[in-house]
Structure 1
Amino acid sequence: MPQRNVVSYNTMITCYSRDGFLQEALELFLEMKRYGFKPTQFTFGGLLSCHLLDALEGMQLHALIEKTGLFYLDAFAGTALLGMYGRYGCLDEALGIFDYMPKKNLVTWNSMISVLSEMGYLEDCIFMLSEMIMSRVGISEYTVVSVLTCLEEVNMQLGEQVHGLVIKYGFDNVTSVHNCLINMYAKCVTTSSAEKMFESAHVKDIVSWNTLIGAMANSDRPIRALDFFLKMCRTGLSPNERTFANVLTACSRLQLLSYGECIHANLIKKRYESDVYSGTVLVNFYAKCDKLQEARVCFDCITQKNLVSWNSLMLGYSSMGSSSISVTLLREMIQSGYHPNELSFSIVIKSSLRTELLQLHSLTIKKGYHENSYVSSSLISSYARNGLVSEALTFVGSAQTKSCVVSSNIIAWIYNRTGQYEKTQEFYADIENPDAVSWNILIAACSRNCYYKETFELFDHMRRSPICPDNYSYVSLFSVCTKLCNLALGSSLHSHILKTSYKLRDTFVCNTMIDMYGKCGSIESSIKIFYETTEKNIISWTALISTLGLHGHANEALERFKEMVKTGIEPDKVAFSSVLSACRHGGLVKQGMNLYREMKVKYGVEPDIDHYVLVVDLLTRYGHIKEAEQLILEMPIAPNALIWRCFLDGSLCPENGNTGTWGKRVNINRIGVHFKYAI
């Protein structure tokens, strides 16, 4: 270009900066000055926007801007500096620039709010929004997007107020704003509210669909994520990497391996599988479905691995108890030139065996992570899990535990589990800012040690503190109500949950309520809660079957068991115990024996001693003494005293004939205890 001017230089500098060619942009900047062209605010704006520019270079450009007086000319240079400092997390410098700027425009305010939002300073975001409105600069859709992005679960009321502001300024039809509202309602209210917000959108783009599918996938309604994915495909909109990632999250939560494999095939078709983002999602999916070999294949397909992909694979092996492979992967990761972070060490340490633990502890010291709160928490937990309780408790009083609530909670949990309730209380008395987990451990400790009055007193203190009770708090309280068989107290807690938050009524809490109402005598309430539970799992079904059996509704319990199997839920040992117990209470000998035979043959569940006790009791109660004796003699495990006790109790019933004959046939050596304990 023979004739160059400031505009042409600025254009080229901006293009180079935008595309990541920082060195070329800086060379043009120096050339421009060398040829006598004076840089403008647009020159500096282009350079400061480059993501490869480091903080030191940014500060040097800041000095040049001040020197040339461009900072005072208009808002452009100051806004660019503010954005640069915000990008590197230098909040004090960004706020200093903002306060010092003589001229601010809409973009300046939006940049400042965006920086605060990205750093999670919600209160400052709201304050800045109020100041912005009062300064009569006005607000734009970018303003509300930044504020909505910063909102969390506890900010429901604030979110609704921002929504009102959106309607007032007429931004509710802007697609980007509407997408943020969908996300906000999913986080702060319920997925049902997010669904309504989605349906009210005039225009639904790929981000709208991804926001809703992602919200459903990570909520207690992952099946709805798959429903919306199919709806989206029917509209003709092509899914992208984010869509597939959200669907795979839903598949992993629902353990839908075949569905996830179909998504994997689509990723291969679109050539996404070697990309680090999609590859890492696939590693997570297969690891959570216990398919570690497939997870490793997906990991190996990633062309440019990052720390997240390594951590995902290590987490998969660690979760399955393959500690040696996790340690090997950590070694491979270091040898490949990657630097493990606190999450890497936490993952490997949590599943490590005693011999590996000492080596890993040494490695964390060598790498300087031993004082990190996450790593120290994992070390404490792993020492306790490996039976090295005294070593775990050496962390008491250390700087890590004093500054980290997580570490303190683990130590308190160790005290609680080893029966040292008083130590748990003393330890928590020294914690300045206990979190929800701290309160829940103490409440659970009270409940576990039968201090029922103190349990509810602690709950009352927690309610008056800044920490709100969560589902774990209520589970401990419902277990107390069950132990006390206090229906009135349990019903009061249930009412309190309904008034407080619908989100507290998750599957975990509902299962506890089904059990509580059933054991406290209110079968109607137990059944009602079961059918109100959105996402039923095997524990929900087992609690209902147990309740029905306990109240003499054996046939209905059997029907619900069959219904559970039809939904695709495989019964486990506890589910079989519940349905066999129901058959025993209702005298359903034939049905009970059929279930016993199907346990291993059809469902692959090996009967344990509790199942044999139930079956023997079922047979002897209703006159099938010979069959019961034959079953005991054919057991693959040695019968214990309880089985012979059930057999003798049944044989002593007058309707079972000659009671003395059956008693004599029981050899004391079979029982293995003194005869007085067997009769």
Structure 2
Amino acid sequence: MITAFAKSSTPEKALELFFVMSSEGLSLTETTFTSVLNACSGLCVPEFGKIIHAKAVKRNLHTSAFGGSSLIDFYGKCSLRNDARKAFDEISEKNIVSWNSLLNVYSDEDSCASLGVLKETLCFGFKPNEISFSSVLRTASCLVLRQLHSLVIRMGYDNNDYVSSAIIASYASNGNDSDALACGSALDSQLSVVATNAIAGIYNRSSRFQESKELLLRLETPDVVSWNVLLTACARNGDYAQAFDLFNHMRTLGHSVDKYTATSLLSICSKINNLSMGKSLHGLLVKTNAGSSDTLVHNILLDMYVKCGSLECCVKVFDEMDERNLISWTAVISGLGLHGRPHEALIWFKRMEEEGFVPDNVALLAVLSACRHGGLVEEGLRLFECMKAKYRVEPEMDHYVCVVDLLCKYGRLREAELVIDEMPFQPNAVIWRMFLQGCKRYGVEAIGG
């Protein structure tokens, strides 16, 4: 029963049963020990795990490869790396499973340290397997990755699907796209799903969307990552109808919607201004609990509702968010400005500051744009003057465009000229066009005062 509860959605019941068993004087077996440790790992309660560890020491269960590996895994999941190392050192007869458990702990934090453990494995006469290499490759830095790749080739694992996929994915995550692609083309066998996903992701980053789609559509059993990379390719390539067709097919195959799926599809709704479809997707996300507590998904929902013309839904989503960041506030401020409510945009900007958020160049551009659209000249000028003095943000071309346009539209040509003269870089054609239009509207004599 303890084993069953440890693997269930209620691992705390495994702990309850264990302590009842102990109070009745029943002996602790190795299977019970490892199961209850797994429950502690799932709950991340190191205090209980250490109590169980102490009971295991009394029965000498901690020195076996099986029991010791469970302890290593437990301490690793609780981010207690030193305790994991001590548990490893106490194993009397280590095997490759023990070493892999330790490698898994170190690879989550320090790629150099995990490479050291891998070398230690070799020094003690153990031959690393595909699990060993995949653990270390998962978070390997560029420098460590090249050393690992050389070792993989020397040990003959370069054509192992599991290892080669990890190498390609690691090169891709480190931004070494050319090396990742070279590894993929050098493989004798067909690319695995993981390797295909990594290479398709590289194609997407390089705007080679058609190649990404063709590669992914050849997969016989794509996973949810494959579908999400495919949807991203369609969204960025403008294949909007195909994206929704693929999404429907993905769902019929039983794949769940996650935050990456939501990101791609909501971005399409924003681009085509399809409020009805955006609301349907929002409802599906709520129903399936996909990304329901994810700030990124909520921010994309805010952007979608603003661009699709539903400021009311945008504010409602904002109010329902558990965690908001600067992007969340900026989305609403931008929406208020775009929908002709500049005074409310300024109120929200003040609220944002009161909540402790310091505006960046994007947030300042949003509130300046609101002033520009609403004709709030004095408020816009005050904000522009505060950019460097108060917020330590250097104005960029877009900020100057906002201010010059605001001044020129309301006949403040002399001030617009001064702003242009003080620009730290050359004004672009847009600024000169707005200035000349202002001169034409109000007369050149307006400059002289």
| TM-score between the two structures when normalised by the length of structure 2 | 0.74
Task: Give distance in 2, aligned partners of 1:590 and 1:244.
Answer: 56
Give the equivalent residue in structure 2 for 1:281: 39
Give the equivalent residue in structure 1 for 2:75: 313
Alignment match of 1:337 (pick from 67, 84, 91): 91
Change (3 A) 1:300 1:268: same
Alignment match of 2:277 (pick from 517, 522, 525): 525
Task: Give distance in 2, aligned partners of 1:627 and 1:271.
Answer: 71
Task: Give distance in 2, aligned partners of 1:241 and 1:600.
Answer: 51
Aligned residue type for 2:307: L
Change (3 A) 1:269 1:374: closer
Task: Give distance in 1, aligned partners of 2:22 and 2:331.
Answer: 47
CA contact (8 A) 2:134 2:166 kept: yes
Q: Percent identity?
A: 12
Structure 2: stretches of 5+ with no match in the other structure: 57-61, 432-449
Is 2:296 the counterpart of 1:543?
no
Alignment match of 1:676 (pick from 422, 427, 430): 427
Alignment match of 1:408 (pick from 164, 168, 180): 164
CA contact (8 A) 2:85 2:102 kept: no
Alignment match of 2:201 (pick from 444, 447, 450): 444
Give the equivalent residue in structure 2 for 1:454: 211
Task: Give distance in 1, aligned partners of 2:15 and 2:329.
Answer: 38
SS at match of 1:552: coil
Q: In the TM superposition, what is the alpha-carbon distance from 1:473 to its structure 2 partner?
A: 1.5
CA contact (8 A) 2:3 2:14 kept: no
Give the equivalent residue in structure 1 for 2:51: 301
Q: In the TM superposition, what is the alpha-carbon distance from 1:645 to its structure 2 partner?
A: 3.4
Give the equivalent residue in structure 1 for 2:394: 640
CA contact (8 A) 2:266 2:300 kept: yes
Alignment match of 2:226 (pick from 465, 473, 478): 473
Task: Give distance in 1, aligned partners of 2:109 and 2:127.
Answer: 17
Aligned residue type for 1:469: P
CA contact (8 A) 1:447 1:455 kept: yes
Is 2:153 the counterpart of 1:397?
yes
Aligned residue type for 2:169: W
Change (3 A) 1:641 1:576: same
Task: Give distance in 1, aligned partners of 2:371 and 2:14.
Answer: 51
Give the equivalent residue in structure 2 for 1:509: 261
Change (3 A) 1:471 1:609: same
Task: Give distance in 2, aligned partners of 1:455 and 1:559.
Answer: 37
Give the equivalent residue in structure 1 for 2:418: 664
Aligned residue type for 2:394: N
Q: How does 1:109-508 map to 2 (within 5 A)?
A: 242-243=4-5, 246-247=8-9, 276=33, 277-286=35-44, 295-302=45-52, 303-304=55-56, 306=67, 307-317=69-79, 326=81, 328-337=82-91, 339=94, 340-352=98-110, 354=112, 356-369=113-126, 371-383=128-140, 385=141, 387-395=143-151, 397-416=153-172, 418=175, 420-421=177-178, 424=181, 427-462=184-219, 467-498=220-251, 500-508=252-260
Alignment match of 1:589 (pick from 337, 342, 345): 342
More contact order relative to length (CA 8 Å, sep ≥ 6): 2
Q: In the TM superposition, what is the alpha-carbon distance from 1:557 to its structure 2 partner?
A: 0.9
Task: Give distance in 2, aligned partners of 1:575 and 1:516.
Answer: 19
Once the two structures are superposed, what CA deviation does each residue of 1:611-651 show, in whole Å capped at 9, x if it has no partner?
A: 33333333444322134135414544x31342x63144234
CA contact (8 A) 2:213 2:233 kept: no
SS at match of 1:351: coil
Task: Give distance in 2, aligned partners of 1:423 and 1:336.
Answer: 39
Once the two structures are superposed, what CA deviation does each residue of 1:70-89 show, in whole Å capped at 9, x if it has no partner?
A: xxxxxxxxxxxxxxxxxxxx
Aligned residue type for 2:43: F
Change (3 A) 1:634 1:380: same
Once the two structures are superposed, what CA deviation does each residue of 1:184-206 show, in whole Å capped at 9, x if it has no partner?
A: xxxxxxxxxxxxxxxxxxxxxxx
Task: Give distance in 1, aligned partners of 2:341 and 2:5.
Answer: 50
Change (3 A) 1:650 1:308: same
Task: Give distance in 2, aligned partners of 1:245 and 1:378.
Answer: 23
Once the two structures are superposed, what CA deviation does each residue of 1:43-90 show, in whole Å capped at 9, x if it has no partner?
A: xxxxxxxxxxxxxxxxxxxxxxxxxxxxxxxxxxxxxxxxxxxxxxxx
Task: Give distance in 2, aligned partners of 1:265 and 1:656.
Answer: 72
Task: Give distance in 2, aligned partners of 1:599 and 1:297.
Answer: 40
CA contact (8 A) 1:471 1:504 kept: yes
Task: Give distance in 2, aligned partners of 1:347 and 1:431.
Answer: 32
Change (3 A) 1:468 1:334: closer
Once the two structures are superposed, what CA deviation does each residue of 1:212-261 show, in whole Å capped at 9, x if it has no partner?
A: xxxxxxxxxxxxxxxxxxxxxxxxxxxx7855874457xxxxxxxxxx8x
Is 2:303 the counterpart of 1:553?
no
CA contact (8 A) 2:235 2:264 kept: no
Once the two structures are superposed, what CA deviation does each residue of 1:91-138 show, in whole Å capped at 9, x if it has no partner?
A: xxxxxxxxxxxxxxxxxxxxxxxxxxxxxxxxxxxxxxxxxxxxxxxx
CA contact (8 A) 2:234 2:243 kept: yes
CA contact (8 A) 2:5 2:14 kept: no
| TM-score between the two structures when normalised by the length of structure 1 | 0.51
Task: Give distance in 2, aligned partners of 1:459 and 1:517.
Answer: 23
Aligned residue type for 1:346: N
Is 2:384 the counterpart of 1:629?
yes
CA contact (8 A) 1:345 1:364 kept: no
Q: In the TM superposition, what is the alpha-carbon distance from 1:439 to its structure 2 partner?
A: 1.9
Q: In the TM superposition, what is the alpha-carbon distance from 1:583 to its structure 2 partner?
A: 2.8
Aligned residue type for 1:312: F
Moved more, 273-282 or 482-491: 273-282
Task: Give distance in 2, aligned partners of 1:372 and 1:461.
Answer: 29
SS at match of 2:297: helix
Aligned residue type for 1:487: Y
Aligned residue type for 1:348: Y
Give the equivalent residue in structure 1 for 2:438: none
Q: In the TM superposition, what is the alpha-carbon distance from 1:402 to its structure 2 partner?
A: 2.5
Change (3 A) 1:634 1:615: farther
Question: Which structure's CA Rg is the greater one?
Answer: 1
Q: In the TM superposition, what is the alpha-carbon distance from 1:344 to its structure 2 partner?
A: 2.2
Give the equivalent residue in structure 2 for 1:575: 328
Structure 1: stretches of 5+ with no match in the other structure: 1-206, 208-239, 250-259, 287-294, 318-324
Aligned residue type for 1:571: R
Give the number of equivalent residue pairs: 396
Task: Give distance in 2, aligned partners of 1:664 and 1:269.
Answer: 78
Give the equivalent residue in structure 1 for 2:445: none
Change (3 A) 1:408 1:279: closer
Once the two structures are superposed, what CA deviation does each residue of 1:500-550 show, in whole Å capped at 9, x if it has no partner?
A: 413344454244322223323333212212202211422433222111112
Is 2:364 the counterpart of 1:612?
yes
